[in-house]
Amino acid sequence: MNPFWQNIFRGRGYQQTLHYFLSTVPAFSKLDKKDLAFLENIVHSRNYQSGEIVFSQGDIGSGMYIIRTGQVQIFTQDDQDTTTEQAILNEGDFFGEVALTASRPRCASARTTAPTVLIGLFRSDIEEAIRRHPAFSANLMFGLNRVISDRLLQCSLQLEELKKKLISDQKEAADE
């Protein structure tokens, strides 16, 4: 397409649209324009104030969230109510994606740390899409599977590094 026309139709305003924003999320980045338009119609936008709990550790997960603006802290609490920060997530980051495929308790809590707009995609919407739009659903699930697989691989690599460090530390301690 001629860049002159592309600038008219895909100018800075397009980058502010939900369609564009969803296309930048790794789980959705391989969706075509038609699938992105469908996705745009089934996601939910919600505004949160700073300090609001999005979900709590132990809650049964119902969906994933994408940070359109703002910031979210992921944290865990032990039996003594000691809080441990696991991550700080910012615009474009997402969390809770496992809940789209499995109805399991959340392993951490999520709380906003600033005024935040979250885009939610929920399992009930995916189940409805599977019945009515199987091709879209397959494309969406492949994208989610790719992200979950990448995260699992990253965890495995980190675990392997920690294991090596532990063995090395044990050998050093034994040599002393």
> Domain containing 47: what range?
3-175
pLDDT at residue 151, rounded to an integer: 85
Long-range contacts formed by 4-7: CB under 8 A, 24+ apart = none
The pLDDT tens digits of the residues spanning 49-91 come to: 999 999 999 999 999 999 999 999 999 999 998 999 999 999 9
Spatial distance between the Cα atoms of 151 and 158, rounded to a whole number of angstroms: 11
Q: What is the phi-psi region of residue 155: left when phi exceeds 0, alpha when psi lies from -120 to 50, beta otherwise? A: alpha
pTM of the model: 0.81
Listed as ranges, residues in the chain with pLDDT below 70 are: 1-15
Nearest to 42 by CA among 109, 140, 149: 140
| Token output for 121 | 């995609």
pLDDT of 12 = 59
**Parallel/antiparallel/unpaired status of strands 94-95 and 44-48:** unpaired
Distances (CA, A) of 152 to 11, 77, 134, 144: 37, 23, 26, 12
Report, in this order, helix, strand and coil percent for the chain, each rounded to 5. Answer: 45, 25, 30
Q: What is the CATH number of the domain that holds 26?
A: 2.60.120.10
Q: 148: alpha, beta or left, given left = phi > 0 and alpha = psi -120 to 50? A: alpha
* Number of domains the chain is built from: 1
